[in-house]
Structure 1
Amino acid sequence: MADRVTMGDVARRAGVSTKTVSNVLRGAPGASAATRQRVLEAVAALDYRLNPSASALRSGRRGSITLAIPTLQQPLYAALAEELMRAADDTAVILELTSGEAEREQEILAGSWARRSDAAVLVPRGLDPASWPIAERAQLKAPLAIIADSGPPDVPRVTCPPEAQVELVAAHLLTLGRRRIAVVGSSSRADRWTEACARGLRAAGLRVDTEAVVRVDAPDGLLGGVEAVARLMHVGTGVDAIVCHNDALAAGAVSALRRRGARVPQDVAVVGRGDTESAVFATPT
């Protein structure tokens, strides 16, 4: 078996230093057009292939981004992964599924991904990022961003403020003539949306009873919506609209309501969150 061609072999054939070869292959400025041509001809002649692992060791960069999400069963998370991969272009995206477990999310916040990636994006569900100790954040050198409704002020965060969403929802429900509303969200410590939604709807003049605020342990799938409807029916809230934390919960709620003979949206209106493809093509949308 022939020995693997090295950058030194390319340098000797082109009559330049290995540093010059590295600069040319990285696209760095400085080499003349003639020198670049000799290097590229040597690369082609020797069929030289860059060793990504060795390159990462030299540069300190891994060429990848870690995306830590609870699950891929939630369409919103799958859509997020696709958009990040598209935006990253040639940069690899490593998916890490946390299952919404606080311990695994804590590991991400502490930088467990830094050994394999240059940056990370975390969508927390089991852990409240606002409680992340400042001392631990100070030790993390590589860039980390979170997608959450709340978080430490010194960590980059992407969010859509719940208050802005609730204003739209409240106006829509008032237009429909709905008055008694249920809110379905997550039982996670990281969830700030559910209470903010209930508070905002009440401020808009809608009735949201305490027993009509339902937090489920499985907020990423249809079963959570089915569970929420069962609990609402059990306590007899008599709501005429249900506002859900995401589209998957909304789809489960619609299915459960129909099985119980309720008409959607005539008897009970259901609002989702996320604008996923499944919601756009659902009936009703």
Structure 2
Amino acid sequence: MRVSLKDVAAHAGVSIKTVSNVVNNYPYVTPAMRERVQRAIDELGYRPNLTARHLRKGRTGIIALALPELGNPYFAELAAAVIDAAAEHDYIVLLDHTRGQREQEVLVSQGFRARVIDGLILSPIELEAEDLRDRAEHVPLVLLGERHYDLPYDHIAVDNVAAARTAVRHLIALGRREVAFIGARQGHNEPAQLRVRGWREELMAAGRSADDGLVATTDGWGHADGAAAMARILDTGRRPDAVFAYNDPVAIGAMRVLHERGLRIPEDVAVVGFDDVIEGRFGMVSLTSISPDKEAIARLAVESILRRLEGEAPEPRRIWAEYRLIERESTRGRVPGADSPAG
């Protein structure tokens, strides 16, 4: 039989209200009383009925997370971080895969799951501001990513221009003269445009030429795209001594081609990726990468939803998440006695 609050109260010799205060982490409970109730909870194996708790507040206990590319390791790691952050608040996450298609992003943003969710975290690729401007659904919405929308929703992003400049500055500091950028894309994809902009600004600030002949566009951002783009650059007869890639899978694809062409990493070509996904840490040459704070992005997104559910409605905010450059073997080489590349 399911253990109830009443059972815990009787076992601990306290009131049901006291048990409820402990279970709901009410602050004004003495340490001794909290320990007494917790001992009874542990001994009886009590588990809160989270569904009932949410229903009493008129909620479902579910947050939707809509992502464009579940096959992209960055989004897989981000999804795991959101699930963990939501669980800390007794919420579960419903995952939607939009494939970066506008019609799917519109469908999700307009609330086709509104009856079963309390909030939506959306990372759009093709969605336009006009798609959200007349949004009829009042379920709280938080946007992720670098597409800028002048709309009344919290928006959590990484400063892509500054991050790209950090990556290129690192390569210039190593003495690299010709830095290629792989992963540019036609159209309005803002992250790619912003990272190219950061690449160009940092080269020019250092007195270097931002040679468009070293910018390679890609159809997508997977391993094969990076490999094909790297091959195209090399086939022109150019041989950059550094590569900054749109993301880690593109960087890993480029590294494969460099290896096949007999070029050493980093002696001949240094490589920096973006996103710091786990596969980049364990290759034969571990990958230097810009590492966005995925856990912070997830936590901020979940907390933004919950604040609005509680009626705390500050002005919509654009929140910049932290990032850092993690230097590994693809730029520093193998260093005897250095920390594990997984760091």
Q: Please give the range of the TM-score, normalised by the shorter of the 2 chains.
A: 0.7 to 0.9
In the aligned structure 1, how far is the partner of 2:184 from the partner of 2:212? 15
User: TM-score when scaled to structure 1?
Assistant: 0.73
Alignment partner, residue 134 of structure 2 = 135
Alignment partner, residue 20 of structure 1 = none
In the aligned structure 2, how far is the partner of 1:187 from the partner of 1:113? 32
In the aligned structure 1, how far is the partner of 2:131 from the partner of 2:260? 43
Range moving further from structure 2, 127-136 or 246-255:
127-136
Cα offset, 1:63, TM superposition: 1.2
Alignment partner, residue 177 of structure 1 = 175
Alignment partner, residue 64 of structure 2 = 66
Determine if contact 1:129/1:151 at 8 Å carries over to the other structure: no
Q: Is 2:200 the partner of 1:199?
A: no
Determine if contact 2:105/2:127 at 8 Å carries over to the other structure: no
Shift in alpha-carbon separation, 1:170–1:51, aligned structure 2, 3 A: closer
Counterpart residue type for residue 247 of structure 2: N
Counterpart residue type for residue 148 of structure 1: G
Counterpart residue type for residue 94 of structure 1: L
Counterpart residue type for residue 278 of structure 1: E
Cα offset, 1:165, TM superposition: 0.5
The size of the alignment, in residue pairs, is 242
In the aligned structure 2, how far is the partner of 1:188 from the partner of 1:99? 18
Cα offset, 1:190, TM superposition: 5.3
In the aligned structure 1, how far is the partner of 2:281 from the partner of 2:198? 25
Stretches of structure 2 that go unaligned for 5 or more consecutive residues are: 1-19, 27-47, 288-343
Alignment partner, residue 21 of structure 1 = none
What's the CA shift string for 1:189-245, capped at 9, x where partnerless?
4522333233333333343322332232221x2112112112222344432222112
Shift in alpha-carbon separation, 1:227–1:233, aligned structure 2, 3 A: same
Alignment partner, residue 208 of structure 1 = 210
Alignment partner, residue 231 of structure 1 = 232
Larger Rg: 1
Determine if contact 2:163/2:198 at 8 Å carries over to the other structure: no
In the aligned structure 2, how far is the partner of 1:98 from the partner of 1:209? 35
SS at structure 1 position matched to 2:266: coil
Range moving further from structure 2, 194-203 or 266-275:
194-203
In the aligned structure 1, how far is the partner of 2:186 from the partner of 2:114? 26
In the aligned structure 2, how far is the partner of 1:129 from the partner of 1:173? 35
Determine if contact 2:165/2:201 at 8 Å carries over to the other structure: no
| Percent of aligned pairs sharing the same letter | 31
In the aligned structure 1, how far is the partner of 2:68 from the partner of 2:160? 20
Choose from 65, 81, 84 the match for 2:82.
Answer: 84
Cα offset, 1:131, TM superposition: 5.3
Alignment partner, residue 147 of structure 1 = 144
CA RMSD between the two structures: 3.1
Counterpart residue type for residue 73 of structure 1: G
Range moving further from structure 2, 144-153 or 55-64:
55-64
Determine if contact 1:100/1:124 at 8 Å carries over to the other structure: yes
Q: Is 2:286 the partner of 1:275?
A: no
In the aligned structure 2, how far is the partner of 1:279 from the partner of 1:152? 32
Determine if contact 1:129/1:190 at 8 Å carries over to the other structure: no
In the aligned structure 2, how far is the partner of 1:113 from the partner of 1:72? 19
Stretches of structure 1 that go unaligned for 5 or more consecutive residues are: 1-23, 30-48
In the aligned structure 2, how far is the partner of 1:160 from the partner of 1:279? 20
1:1-285 alignment runs, 5 A limit: 52=51, 60-89=58-87, 90-125=90-125, 127-130=126-129, 132-136=131-135, 139-153=136-150, 154-185=152-183, 187=185, 189=187, 191-204=189-202, 205=204, 206-219=208-221, 221-282=222-283, 283-285=285-287
Determine if contact 2:184/2:193 at 8 Å carries over to the other structure: no
User: TM-score when scaled to structure 2?
Assistant: 0.62
In the aligned structure 2, how far is the partner of 1:51 from the partner of 1:163? 42
Determine if contact 2:179/2:241 at 8 Å carries over to the other structure: yes
SS at structure 2 position matched to 1:272: strand
SS at structure 2 position matched to 1:96: strand
Cα offset, 1:85, TM superposition: 0.8
Shift in alpha-carbon separation, 1:244–1:129, aligned structure 2, 3 A: farther
Cα offset, 1:258, TM superposition: 0.8
